[in-house]
């Protein structure tokens, strides 16, 4: 109730963006987890010369962690 009064002067776009921002960050957790896993694995492989094992391992880890964080965040947002 107090929040509604607080953001009265905000434009529609700003209000929608603020409402959406936890969901945007949840989606980024899923996408970014995969990206960090794959890219991190690729560069570590090049650096340590262990092609392709770290790429495979870190991709799986990154994608799983991303999914886990996404689902965790979504279930928490859903409960609210």
Partner 1 sequence: MRESVRRLALALALFSGAAWASGAGSQHEVAEHTGHAGSEDNVAEYIFHHVGDDTAYEFELPGPLYTGHNPRLDLAVAFSFLRLETKPGACPSDLHADTHSFTALFQGCVDLRPTKHVLMMWFAGALLILAMLFGSHRNKAQLVPRGMIANLFELLVLFVRDELAIKNIGKEEGPRYVPYLLTAFFFILFMNVLGLFPWMATATGNLAVTAGLAFCTFVLTQVASIRAAGLLGYFKHLTGGVQVWLWPIMIPVEVLGLFTKPFALTVRLFANMLAGHIVIFFLLGLIFLLHPGMAAFSVPLAIGIYFLELFVALVQAYIFTMLSALFIGMGVAMGHHGEAHAAGH
Question: Binding mask 30-59 vs partner 1 (x if CB under 8 A, - otherwise)?
Answer: --xx-xxx--x-------------------
Closest approach of partner 1 to the CB of residue 43, in Å: 12
When asked if residue 28 is in the footprint of partner 1 (CB under 8 A), the reply is: yes
Closest approach of partner 1 to the CB of residue 50, in Å: 18
Nearest to 34, CA basis, from 5, 55, 51, 13: 55
- Cα separation, 53 vs 41, in Å, equals 8
């Amino acid at each position: 109730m107090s929040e509604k009064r607080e953001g009265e002067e905000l434009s529609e776009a700003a209000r929608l963006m603020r409402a959406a921002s936890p969901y945007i960050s949840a989606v980024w957790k899923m996408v970014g987890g995969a990206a960090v896993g794959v890219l991190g694995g690729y560069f570590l492989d090049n650096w340590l010369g262990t092609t392709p094992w770290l790429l495979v391992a870190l991709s799986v880890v990154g994608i799983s962690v991303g999914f886990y964080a996404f689902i965790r965040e979504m279930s928490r947002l859903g409960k609210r």
